[in-house]
Chain A
């Protein structure tokens, strides 16, 4: 009889990296479904292209670099899907290819692969696309909801500040594939919280921060949190494990910082939207937050209670 010898612990929580990524995909499902329903076949094609490109890029890189092929952890699929959801529905197909490949190869793999990238891959890729092809990235179509009507292009309500709050909430606005329906995003948030994939700290703090700072800077705070990519960013992008702080208090500082940057860019900057840069800038601050936030270690606090 051969008995295995190993050190404790002998058991593990059933959740693995792969299962966490599947939970994220599950949480993205309502948003993806509404996006496809709202924008039709072009949206479906774009999402498919960005997903396939992301997974294929990761696979080829790991083969060529002779690394362990880890596409089964589904992290590349998540990156691809999130990037696709960040594109306007009428974007050309090659934008999705360039974006996904850039996210996976340059932002993630060149910095060491999963866990070692310091920027959120999809967010960094979106920033590059925005800077390189601003026209493609900011010409939005109104959702057609399969009404048969021809797609009408329009500016994001962030720029026009004209949409009704109810339309903003339900998704009847021009915008990227993923950001239009707030209901679907909130459903995704519930899935993430229920599966304990994420904690409340980042999404709630970030939204609260946008609300408070927009109000302080004289904007309509409700409009501010419902328009643009605030909710999508707060639920799916700022919560990227790799690029946010490890402790609960660190996460709240990080999320509050994103909210502040968004409000500043929107009110005082030249861009109508600030979510991308807010998240990227705070991604960069994450190592600092992790490093300098004081730990409360058992038995090492200055005032150990003596009763």
Chain B
């Protein structure tokens, strides 16, 4: 079979099986902790508004935060018990967010659920509202509200839905295990969306380093209308939305555009499974699979209630095996470092990776030797070394001319750089600056009128 892929890219931790060997053969274990901290900014867009107060008793699946606008979803209690606090907490450098703390009474009481029935028989017009009510956001990491992604602007037509099972990030095996253990649910979720939006084709795309997942998904897709499995080459960032679309459909999303501009929508496998849960069982998104690996005694794939504290998850994995130097949510290429182990997880937390002191040491920059490895790595086709010169000189206009805004911060250039130059961090900074300047300019233009 011809394996599909995109141009350039890298093979991070190639010799160590991308860091996935420790967990890829471990079945998902359920884990429930004594308490959870559920914050209200789980999605890109407006935060949810808390609707419970200290002392309230909540059941699993009960709405504890209502959607704060169209680009927002409700938040549900992930365990049953007493609300012990509703207060702002600092969260991952985004400032304070409101969070609801629930103490588990282990009654496992659920709210009454309203199943819609089989995905092949459900009234298609009920699917998107159900996705919204279930509080589903992109579970691959970006946490964009799924119902917004599935609501197109006038005239847009979607002919293909791609289910992202690439899992190209290092260390993570949560999607891999989900495809093995929950393959039918993933196909169900895809079918529900295909019917809701009248899309003829659904393609489940998986990297060839997961032959067992490919086989499982092929089996689950057999006989389902319009559903097929595509095998991708194992390469980072194969699971990047733009790269995936190029690999699977041969189309390129225009710069600054959305996948729907080329008739495609991409959904993560976890998102699809959550959609199936919402339609078939009427169940909101209250738990997810998360890979806990690195310097922990027993690396695991855990199904955790949303809001589980990192410390509890480390405990469930037998504790640290070495003194930790850095812990991050997600894989090593794009993961977000957390400040302490009291940090709660969110709907988008697909991994908790613990690095020891040696792995965490920051590297000094040395001079660029113009080796061109960054250029050969960039999946977008940018010249990272030139952008870095502009960014270092705080010349953001020049950086913008070099198309820094097309950079998706995948980290490929910085991974390859032999001089250990902080390419991706500078690009992140430059992009933030440019966005802020654009906003300021827009605000000024508005006030002038």
Chain A contacts to B: CB under 8 angstroms:
1, 3-13, 15-17, 19-20, 70, 73, 75, 113-116, 199, 241-248, 251, 290, 295-301, 304-307
8 chain-A/chain-B pairs, Cβ below 8 angstroms: A4-B325, A4-B360, A15-B418, A244-B370, A246-B375, A297-B380, A298-B242, A307-B249
Stretch in contact with the other chain, from B100-108, B177-185, B361-369 = B361-369
* Residues in A neighbouring B251, C-beta threshold 8 A: 304-307
Residues of B within 8 A of A300 (CB): 254-255, 403, 406
Between B332, B381, B416, the greatest number of chain A beta carbons within 10 A of the residue's beta carbon is seen for B381
Q: A295-B382, A299-B257, A300-B255 are in contact. Are A11 and B13 (CB under 8 A)?
A: yes
B196 contacts chain A at the CB level, 8 A cutoff = no
B: number of interface residues (CB 8 Å): 69
Nearest A residue to B236 by beta-carbon distance? A9
- Complex: how many Å from CA A296 to CA B12? 24
CA distance A295 to B387 in the complex (A): 14
User: B66 — which chain A residues lie within 8 A by C-beta?
Assistant: none
- Contact flag A298-B335 (CB < 8 Å), given A20-B371, A246-B370: no
Which chain A residue has the least Cβ–Cβ distance from B262? A306
Chain A residues whose CB sits within 8 angstroms of the CB of B381 once the complex forms: 295-298
Least distance between A253 CB and chain B CB atoms (Å) = 14
Docked CA distance A16–B411 (Å): 16
- The CA of A243 and the CA of B335, in the complex, are separated in Å by 35
A307–B367 alpha-carbon span in the complex (Å): 44
- What are the 6 closest A-B residue pairs judged by CB atoms, nearest first? A9-B411, A299-B255, A115-B367, A246-B372, A4-B326, A11-B332
Contacts of A113 in B (CB 8 A): 367
**Min C-beta distance of A128 to chain B, whole Å:** 23
Q: Is the CB of A299 within 8 A of B366?
A: no
- Residues of B participating in the A interface, judged by any CB pair closer than 8 Å: 7, 10, 12-13, 93, 170, 242, 246, 249-257, 262, 324-328, 330, 332-341, 353, 355, 359-360, 362-363, 366-372, 375-376, 379-383, 385, 403, 406, 409, 411, 414-420, 424-425, 428
Asked if A297 and B406 sit within 8 Å, CB to CB, the answer is yes
B262 touches A16 (CB 8 A): no
**Additional A-B contacts beyond A115-B370, A300-B403, A307-B249 (16; CB < 8 A):** A3-B341, A4-B326, A5-B93, A6-B362, A7-B337, A8-B336, A10-B333, A10-B335, A11-B170, A15-B418, A16-B418, A241-B372, A295-B382, A299-B252, A299-B406, A307-B250
Tell me if A13 and B383 are in contact (CB < 8 A). no
> Are A12's CB and B363's CB within 8 A?
yes
The answer on a CB contact under 8 Å between B252 and A301 is: yes
Which of B326, B340, B372 is A10 in contact with, Cβ under 8 Å?
B326
B249 to chain A, nearest CB (A): 7
CB B410 to nearest CB in A, in angstroms, measures: 8
Interface SS of chain B: helix, strand, loop or mixed?
Answer: loop
CA distance in complex: A301, B253 (Å): 10
In the bound complex, residues from chain B placing their C-beta under 8 Å from that of A8 are 328, 330, 332-336, 409, 411, 424
Complex CA distance for A50 and B108, rounded to whole angstroms: 78
**Contact indicator A115/B369 (Cβ below 8 Å):** yes
- B342 CB to nearest A CB, Å: 10
What distance in Å separates the Cβ of B66 from its nearest Cβ neighbour in chain A?
32
Bound-state Cα–Cα, A248 to B369, Å = 16
Chain B residues, Cβ within 8 Å of A1: 324, 340-341
Give bound CA distance, A19 to B419, whole Å: 10
Least CB distance from B307 to A in Å reads 20
The residue of chain B having its C-beta at the shortest distance from the C-beta of A242 within the complex is: B370
Interface majority SS (helix, strand, loop, mixed), chain A: loop
| Residue in A closest to B15 when the chains form the complex, CB atoms | A14
Measured in the bound complex, the distance between the Cα atoms of B325 and A114 in whole Å is 32
In the bound complex, CA of A306 to CA of B370 (Å): 36
Docked-complex contact B242 and A13, CB < 8 angstroms? no
Q: Are B403 and A10 in contact (CB under 8 A)?
A: no
Task: List residues of chain B with CB within 8 A of the CB of A116.
Answer: 367
Q: Is the CB of B325 within 8 A of A17?
A: no
With both chains docked as a complex, state the minimum distance between the C-beta of B294 and any C-beta of chain A, in angstroms: 10
Q: How far is the CA of A8 from the CA of B334 in the complex (A)?
A: 5
Q: Which residues of the partner chain B approach A12 to less than 8 Å between Cβ atoms?
A: 363, 414-415, 417, 420
- Chain B, residue nearest A299 (CB): B255
B268 smallest CB distance to A (angstroms): 19
Cα–Cα distance between A249 and B363 once the two chains are bound (Å): 31
A212-B433 Cα distance, complex, nearest whole Å = 51
Residue among B254, B338, B367, B380 having the largest count of chain A Cβ atoms under 10 Å? B367
Q: Which residues of A contact B363 (CB under 8 A)?
A: 12
**Chain B nearest Cβ from A290, distance in angstroms:** 8
Chain A residues near B403 (CB-CB < 8 A):
297, 300
Q: With A20-B418, A73-B366, A299-B254 known to touch, is A3 a contact of B372 (CB < 8 Å)? A: no
Contact of B250 among A73, A246, A305 (CB under 8 A): A305
Contacts of B335 in A (CB 8 A): 8, 10
Chain A residues whose CB sits within 8 angstroms of the CB of B375 once the complex forms? 246-247
Report the minimal beta-carbon distance from B253 to chain A, rounded to whole angstroms: 5
Chain A nearest CB: distance from B367 CB in Å? 4
| Alpha-carbon separation in the docked complex, A242 to B424 (Å) | 22
User: How long is the Cα–Cα vector from A251 to B373 in the complex, in angstroms?
Assistant: 13
Complex-state Cα separation, A115 to B325, whole angstroms: 33
B360 surroundings in chain A (CB, below 8 A): 4, 6, 10
- Once the chains bind, are A9 and B424 in contact (CB under 8 Å)? yes
Given that A8-B336, A17-B418 are known contacts, is A3 also in contact with B325, CB under 8 Å in the complex?
Answer: yes
- B362 with A9: CB separation less than 8 A: no
B243 CB to closest chain A CB (Å) equals 8
Q: How far apart are the CA atoms of A145 and B314 in the complex, in Å? A: 66
Report the bound CA distance from A9 to B416 in whole Å: 10
Chain B residues, CB < 8 A from A298: 7, 242, 246, 252-253, 255, 379-381, 406
| Separation of A3 and B359 alpha carbons in the complex (Å) | 12
| CB within 8 Å for A9 and B367 given contacts A298-B381, A307-B250 | no
B372 CB contact (under 8 Å) in A4, A70, A247: A247
Q: Which residues of A contact B419 (CB under 8 A)?
A: 16-17, 115
Contact A297 B382 (CB under 8 A): yes
Known A241-B370, A300-B406; contact A246-B414, beta-carbon cutoff 8 A:
no
Complex contact B326–A6 (CB within 8 A): yes
Residues on B with beta carbons closer than 8 Å to the beta carbon of A3? 324-327, 337-341
State A113–B366 Cα separation when bound (angstroms): 11
Q: In the bound complex, how far is the Cα of B251 from the Cα of A307, in angstroms?
A: 7
Nearest-neighbour CB distance to chain B for A19, whole angstroms, equals 7
Q: B333, A11: Cβ atoms under 8 Å? A: yes
- Closest chain-A Cβ to B361's Cβ sits at a distance in Å of 8
> Which residues does chain B contribute within 8 Å of A16, judged by CB atoms?
418-420
Docked complex Cα distance between A20 and B409 (Å) = 26
Q: Which residue of B lies closest to A11 (CB)?
A: B332
Please report the C-alpha to C-alpha distance between residue A193 and residue B382 in the assembled complex, in whole angstroms. 24
